[in-house]
Amino acid sequence: MRTRVTRWAFRVTAVTATVALLATTRAPADADIPLPKGSADHYAGSQIARYEDVGASPRAARAASEDAVEGIDVSSHQGQVDWAAHWNEGKRFAYVKATEGTGYLNPGFADQYQGAAAVGMLRGAYHFALPDRSDGTAQAAYFVDNGGGWAPDGRTLPGVLDIEYNPYGDTCYGMAGEAMVAWIRGFSDAYLLRTGRPPVIYTSTRWWNQCTGNLGDFSASNPLWVARYSEDVGELPHPWPVHTIWQHTSTPLDQNTFNGPYERLLALSGGDRAVRR
């Protein structure tokens, strides 16, 4: 364990220069590029559901088991959440949308985040990325500053980068694969530098393959949260060998399965970066 901590401490130091360089080449802030009307809230998987046909055999809810943990994710789209009801249904973790780009805050974030914790769920926050509006460093900072941080308290899950189809325009935000990988790397490195943890990456296999061109490898550092609305998780984004979380349906709200027993979910929240499933 001591060797692992030392290795990660070196990683944090190594990204400092990269983050500083990226900070000098930021794209315009979201405040300079008004979002279209109707853009108040895009929840995790909203565009995946739109483009990848969620009507095709969404996976049925499963009973609690020793090798998986059930959870949900929410945004302002859900409003007030009956957390006790979800707990009684066996949900043991939740992710709550905090931010989008550098110009949107979930107005219900605090209530939802605290509500999940109040019933005993492990909880974390996620950020909906807009790579064409500001750079990854800026968006990571905005996320951390507005609820997306992490604490080694044993109940806070690492923050999530939600990277998926562009709700406002070009599928890949006008970026070629190398540029997209660099943007994701910038966000991940900046989040790691601020929190000591790499973010979980949420995406779909189809979007990832198309928009990164399979050019980047985040599998050794970033846990994978994959969205696929089907009876099985299917092919994973390149080159992850395993997934950490699977979002398997968006009805009646986003539902997820952690790929491992509860003890491993606790380890992930507590700071064990070796947990991948």
Alpha helices in the chain (DSSP H): 2-23, 46-51, 83-88, 109-118, 136-143, 177-195, 205-212, 262-270
Cβ count within 10 A of residue 103: 18
Whether the CA torsion 212, 215, 221, 227 is positive or negative: it is positive
Q: What angle do CA 126, 132, 133 make, to 5 degrees?
A: 75
Question: CA end-to-end span of the chain, whole Å?
Answer: 18
Inter-residue contact 225 to 201 (CB < 8 Å): yes
Query: Which of 173, 217, 218, 213 lies closest to 199, judged by CA?
Result: 218
State how far the Cα of 273 lies from the Cα of 16, in Å rounded to an integer. 19
Identity at 165, one-letter amino acid code: Y
What stretches in the chain show pLDDT beneath 50?
A: 1-34, 36-38, 55-57, 273-274, 276-277
For residue 169, count CB atoms less than 10 angstroms from its CB and return exposed for 0-12, middle for 13-18, buried for 19 or more: exposed
What's the pLDDT at 11? Answer: 43
Q: Provide the b/e sequence for 127-150 (b: ≥16 CB within 10 Å).
A: bbbbbbbbbbbbbbbbbbebbbbb
Q: Which of 111, 108, 72, 67 is closest to 89 using CA atoms?
A: 72
Helix, strand or coil, per DSSP, at residue 267: helix
User: What's the confidence (pLDDT) of residue 254?
Assistant: 87
The pLDDT value recorded for residue 50 is: 59
Q: What is the pLDDT of residues 264-277, one digit of tens each?
A: 999 999 856 445 44
- Return the structure tokens found at 33: 């590029």
Q: What is the pTM of this model?
A: 0.82
The token duo for 210 is 């198309």
- Where do the domains of the chain lie? 2-26+41-270
Write down the pLDDT at residue 253. 86
- Distances, alpha carbon 210 to alpha carbons 22, 176, 237, in Å: 24, 9, 10
CATH superfamily assigned to domain 2-26+41-270: Glycosidases (3.20.20.80)
96 and 109 in contact (C-beta within 8 Å)? Answer: yes
pLDDT per position as a tens digit, 102-132: 999 999 999 999 999 999 999 999 999 999 9
Give the bridge partners for 93, in sequence order.
71, 122
**Which residues carry out catalysis?**
73, 162, 164
